Structure 1
Amino acid sequence: MMNVAKQSQMAGGMNMGFVVIAEPDEVNAARIKTILDSLDKDFSYALVGSAEAAIQLVEQNTTDVFIADMQMPVIKGTELFSMIEMMSPETIRIVMTDGARIADTVAFMNECRTFKIIIKPCRVADDLMAPIRAAFRYKEQLERAAGQEQEQETACSMTEQAYLEHRRMWLMRASNNKRAQDVLAELMKVNLSFSDMEVERKERLGRWYVWLVSEYINCVSCGTGEFKTAAEGLAAFGNKPEQQEYFELRCTADEVVDPERMNEVTYILRIITGLCKDILNGYRIMAILEPMEKVYVLRVRIQMYKDSFRIKNTTMREGLSRATELAIDALGYKSVVMNKEQETIFNLALRR
């Protein structure tokens, strides 16, 4: 199995971040290496094929992000992630899986307290890079928070405002966890009736359903809830002018959007954009978030090019679209969709 030597952790005198990836499957490891080597990135990485090699790397290096398959040979995935957490608790951990068993994956993430999930094989570079970038952002936030906490401890006091902010974050996390359980349970109930489908369509819809669930976990359960971070991540995912893919998100007010609602907006826009990327050869998406007195109104205008379908099979397109609609419906909000020639307008009201 390949063992890609660690790239230099110094660039222009500045320390770079370091990522350890453990992937026992040689085909997927080659795909990961191809993606990472083709991109400009502000971190170095080591790609290994065994848990033992990964453990040795984490022991010998300051590791910012650790990525490994849920099922490793010799050492079980749960044991590997537990060891990494004990050895390097500040390392952000991400699990990879083929997505065949969603319930097992969710249970694994809860047990091992992993930050995000990567569904393999990675279809596009962003499937791999988005979780890695998010992990670095999250690590920076934790480090800033730790610094602030140290300052508070040094001062031996906590202001009322700081206490209320901490309390709000604790309550939001508890609410997010309960919300995640409810929505995932609702998604699990969806019956896509695979039995009467041809194999290709069955596999395509199955992969899409797995992706929808993984996006929910990543966006809603693990999202930062910050508008700027969400907008930047969505633009990186959906705005590819060289591929005739355009995405823009705006907010009509300067107020801070409720973090829980912002995570849900991010999820909705991610799966809508993912659907467009899958079935269309180019699109223009304009999303506007409008805070109102009792609700947030999300308006999405999707424009497509004439005869631009990437997937020619109408039944397949309708199946993917329907699965996406069901995923949005599982959030429990009322939506209105208007279909016009080469344009779709989507409106949704989210409670404040």
Structure 2
Amino acid sequence: MNTVVIVENSRKMIDNYIRMLEACKEKIECKYFRYPEKAVEYIRREGAAVLVCELDMPVMSGKEVFDMVEIISPETVKIAMAQVKDVRETLEIVNHSRIFKLILKPFFLSEDLVEPIKSALNYYKLQEKKKNHSMDMTVKWNSVDKDTKKLVDEVEKKKQTYHNICKTMTGIMKGNLQCGSIELSPGEKDKVVDLFEGMFQEFMRYYMFGAQNYIFHINYLMNLFHCPEEHRVFRLRKKNNQEIPNEILENIVYTIFIIGYASREILGCYQLKAVIDKENGEYVLGLLIKVSKKTQEEQRGEKRVEETVMQMVQKMIDVFAERRLKETSEDFVAEKIYYKEGALSDE
């Protein structure tokens, strides 16, 4: 029996998993469930070699699923999926629910899902072969717990480092706002500080993933800035299929992140369109931000805050970009931002 049961309440994520496992479908039989109770009933009736389950689900949590499967099918090997930001809360579940592997999300490479499943299937087969022999499972699970705790500790150490960086950056910003050169009321200064503190924290979460491909960045930015039901529209595309050097790609997507975050927090409703192109050996990011008349009227009372934020945003963009061309009107901002390899500003 090589059946793998995958439980995920998001239809979109299930579709992603189906695509990731397409190449292995002849060797691995996967059953997908959005509703955990149906997955538990299937395992009770048919059994399963491996259970892959999201921990954070409504109605029935991943821990409850694992606990029920432990009772009805203790031989099933369990793999948990959890967000990076939820790792500390996940540790207790991992230590007490006999979790074989922990997959940290978001992930966008097929190997990040395929390899843990293959490893779990191999472990399941090993269990089956040794069913009639005495085994000291305690030693094995202690080893798994130790490896998992090591992973969690490493992630937490990184998170603490980035948290300290955010605190330092926020402290510098507070100092600049208190120097008297920026005419804002105390309440307005608090709004600016809160906005940038949130930006720094989210940026460091983004940055901690390190070098990633174009698809990863699209997904990350779409999740942050594209929410049509709240009248926030974000689009990003490349005009050519040419591979973008990682140094340039990071500078471009971090620029988009800064502008997108400021637009979301300041404007609320917007249309943000980004196009990556190449002109005369330079990489170019074309940006168009459209704002409705209603949004502009609502923002009139926050004009000084908006102007201050946008001034700081422009200075941050200068760190990543070579030069810029900008055009504005009452309801849109259009900008071309140019990048060269090895041209990162030292300012």
Q: Give me the TM-score of the superposition, normalised by structure 2.
A: 0.53
Q: Which residue of structure 1 aligns with residue 155 of structure 2?
A: 93
Would the alpha carbon gap of residues 45 and 226 (structure 1) be closer, same or farther in structure 2, given more than 3 Å must change? closer
In the TM superposition, residue 238 of structure 1 has moved relative to its aligned partner by 1.6
Q: Which residue of structure 2 aligns with residue 342 of structure 1?
A: 331
The answer to whether the 8 Å contact 2:266/2:306 transfers is yes
In the TM superposition, residue 314 of structure 1 has moved relative to its aligned partner by 0.7
The answer to whether the 8 Å contact 1:289/1:297 transfers is yes
Of 91, 103, 122, which aligns to 1:64?
103
The answer to whether the 8 Å contact 1:215/1:267 transfers is no
Give the whole-Å Cα distance in 1 for the aligned partners of 2:331 and 2:325. Answer: 17
Q: Which residue of structure 2 aligns with residue 16 of structure 1?
A: 52
Give the whole-Å Cα distance in 1 for the aligned partners of 2:175 and 2:269. Answer: 30
User: SS at 1:315's partner residue?
Assistant: helix
Q: What code does the residue aligned with 1:93 have? A: V
More deviation, 225-234/295-304? 225-234
Give the whole-Å Cα distance in 2 for the aligned partners of 1:268 and 1:256. Answer: 18
Would the alpha carbon gap of residues 215 and 261 (structure 1) be closer, same or farther in structure 2, given more than 3 Å must change? farther
Q: Which residue of structure 2 aligns with residue 255 of structure 1?
A: 242
Give the whole-Å Cα distance in 2 for the aligned partners of 1:95 and 1:244. Answer: 37
Deviations 1:133-166 (A, max 9, x none): xxxxxxxxxxxxxxxxxxxxxxxxxxxxxxxxxx
The equivalences for 1:100-139 within 5 A come to 105-106=161-162
The answer to whether the 8 Å contact 2:325/2:336 transfers is yes
Give the whole-Å Cα distance in 2 for the aligned partners of 1:292 and 1:221. Answer: 31
Q: Which residue of structure 1 aligns with residue 260 of structure 2?
A: 273
Of 152, 177, 200, which aligns to 1:193?
177
Give the whole-Å Cα distance in 2 for the aligned partners of 1:227 and 1:317. Answer: 30
Would the alpha carbon gap of residues 198 and 217 (structure 1) be closer, same or farther in structure 2, given more than 3 Å must change? same
The answer to whether the 8 Å contact 1:305/1:342 transfers is yes
Q: Which residue of structure 2 aligns with residue 322 of structure 1?
A: 311
The answer to whether the 8 Å contact 1:65/1:94 transfers is no
The answer to whether the 8 Å contact 1:295/1:349 transfers is yes
Of Structure 1 and Structure 2, the greater helix share is in: 2
Give the whole-Å Cα distance in 1 for the aligned partners of 2:200 and 2:260. Answer: 15
Give the whole-Å Cα distance in 2 for the aligned partners of 1:235 and 1:54. Answer: 26
| Unmatched tracts of structure 1, length 5 or more | 1-6, 20-32, 67-83, 98-103, 110-116, 120-183
Q: Does 1:300 align with 2:287?
A: yes
Q: Which residue of structure 2 aligns with residue 208 of structure 1?
A: 195
Q: Does 1:233 align with 2:182?
A: no
Give % identity.
12
Would the alpha carbon gap of residues 106 and 252 (structure 1) be closer, same or farther in structure 2, given more than 3 Å must change? same
User: SS at 1:276's partner residue?
Assistant: helix
Would the alpha carbon gap of residues 214 and 202 (structure 1) be closer, same or farther in structure 2, given more than 3 Å must change? same
Would the alpha carbon gap of residues 238 and 189 (structure 1) be closer, same or farther in structure 2, given more than 3 Å must change? closer
Would the alpha carbon gap of residues 234 and 55 (structure 1) be closer, same or farther in structure 2, given more than 3 Å must change? closer
In the TM superposition, residue 44 of structure 1 has moved relative to its aligned partner by 6.3
Would the alpha carbon gap of residues 205 and 17 (structure 1) be closer, same or farther in structure 2, given more than 3 Å must change? farther
In the TM superposition, residue 215 of structure 1 has moved relative to its aligned partner by 4.2
Would the alpha carbon gap of residues 267 and 43 (structure 1) be closer, same or farther in structure 2, given more than 3 Å must change? farther
Give the whole-Å Cα distance in 1 for the aligned partners of 2:58 and 2:190. Answer: 30
Deviations 1:218-261 (A, max 9, x none): 44453443112212222222221111211111101111211222
Would the alpha carbon gap of residues 85 and 277 (structure 1) be closer, same or farther in structure 2, given more than 3 Å must change? farther
Would the alpha carbon gap of residues 340 and 86 (structure 1) be closer, same or farther in structure 2, given more than 3 Å must change? same
Query: Between Structure 1 and Structure 2, how many residues are aligned?
Result: 231
Q: Does 1:285 align with 2:272?
A: yes
User: SS at 2:155's partner residue?
Assistant: strand
In the TM superposition, residue 15 of structure 1 has moved relative to its aligned partner by 3.0
Deviations 1:40-73 (A, max 9, x none): 9997669xx9x7x86543323343349xxxxxxx
User: SS at 1:301's partner residue?
Assistant: strand
User: SS at 1:287's partner residue?
Assistant: strand
In the TM superposition, residue 89 of structure 1 has moved relative to its aligned partner by 4.1
In the TM superposition, residue 93 of structure 1 has moved relative to its aligned partner by 2.7
